[in-house]
Chain A
Amino acid sequence: MSDSLIIAGKAYASRLLVGTGKYKDFTETRAAVKASGAGIVTVAIRRTNIGQDPNQPSLLDALPPSEFTYLPNTAGCYSAEDAVRTLRLARELLDGHDLVKLEVLGDPQTLFPNMPETLKAAETLVKDGFKVMVYCSDDPIQTKILEGIGCVAVMPLASLIGSGMGILNPWNLKLIIESAKVPVLVDAGVGTASDAAIAMELGCDGVLMNTAIAGAKNPVLMAGAMKKAVEAGREAFLAGRMPKKLYSAMPSSPTTGIIGS
């Protein structure tokens, strides 16, 4: 069954997107990304370490852009201006690649998104030809505004970045999913496999995570677990779950032909 994730008209086999930060080394990064089955990987844009050996191994060697779709992010940006500058550099760095992850942070403690700055940056980037996947608050009004601006995917938080607290407000996610015409991906908050499955069962189009895998005791094993959880959650969503009821008085086995009756 072909059930691709379609973003900006392009099909991706995996509905799991993964970050590439916080790993022990590039060998572990690659092993975990491979185990996750992800085709889209997020990367950060940072200043070169002037004066350091430029021949040290790089992320590009571990995860060649020919093999993965890079999704450059604006992590660490607290203003629309910085986010736009960062992604223009990313586009230059990646030979005109225009699929990007916008995130404008509000404060360094919670990493909660600054929505006014996020909206401002989204408008500039869309006008500038970027395909913007946007990290945002789990607010169905904000996601509609972002969709109206022309973002190609909305990515509400399930709980705070790096918290591993899971899906804290499934009802808001439901509202976003019901109203959105672009893909909805949970970005941030997933802690373990069941969280990813819940997000997908709710009807999310995908899940983006980093710390849940990189911060596990065995990241490669967790990456495989997340792959299965996203697939299982997606299939359960498509299958349509049975209704919940307190009791049914309808056993699964026949009610007739019972001996002694």
Chain B
Amino acid sequence: MIEIVLNGAPRQLPAALTVAALLEREGLAGKRVAVERNGEIVPKSQHSQVAVATGDRLEIVVAVGGG
């Protein structure tokens, strides 16, 4: 079990996993999203290599309507 903060809320995950696997879990695989881990961008090309570890702070963002 690992514990992360996902979009500002605490989140428990069964085991360490990659960013790509996390997106898959959230139903966001293949969607246009951007990911930041501990304040650093995780480029799309590295989603399947970068692992999510306990204590990580992740942000997953999308484009929405705005002025």
Contact = CB atoms under 8 A, between A and B. Distances in A.
Interface of A: 19-23, 29, 42-48, 50, 53-55, 58-60, 70, 72-73, 75, 85, 88-90, 92-94, 161-162, 209-211
A42 B26 contact: no
A-B pairs, 4 with minimum CB distance: A44-B66, A19-B67, A210-B67, A93-B34
A47 B26 CA distance: 13
B61 interface: yes
Nearest to A209: B67
Contacts of A211: 67
Contacts of B60: 47-48, 50
A90 B34 contact: yes
Interface in B10-67: 11, 26-28, 31-36, 39, 41, 43-44, 59-67
7 contacts: A46-B61, A50-B60, A60-B63, A89-B34, A90-B34, A93-B32, A93-B62
Contacts of A47: 7-8, 59-62
Nearest to B27: A54
Nearest to A54: B27
A70 B65 CA distance: 11
Given A60-B32, A85-B39, A88-B41, A19 B66 contact: yes
Contact of A48 (B7, B11, B67): B7
Given A48-B7, A48-B28, A50-B26, A43 B65 contact: yes
A54 B67 contact: no
B6 interface: yes
Nearest to B59: A47
Given A19-B67, A21-B67, A42-B67, A92 B62 contact: no
B1 interface: no
Contacts of B63: 43-45, 58-60, 70, 72, 90, 93-94
B26 A20 contact: no
B32 to A, nearest CB: 6
A96 B20 CA distance: 19
B26 A93 contact: no
Nearest to B43: A92
A90 B33 CA distance: 9
Given A47-B8, A47-B62, 12 more contacts: A19-B66, A20-B65, A22-B65, A43-B66, A45-B61, A48-B62, A50-B7, A50-B9, A58-B62, A73-B67, A75-B67, A89-B36
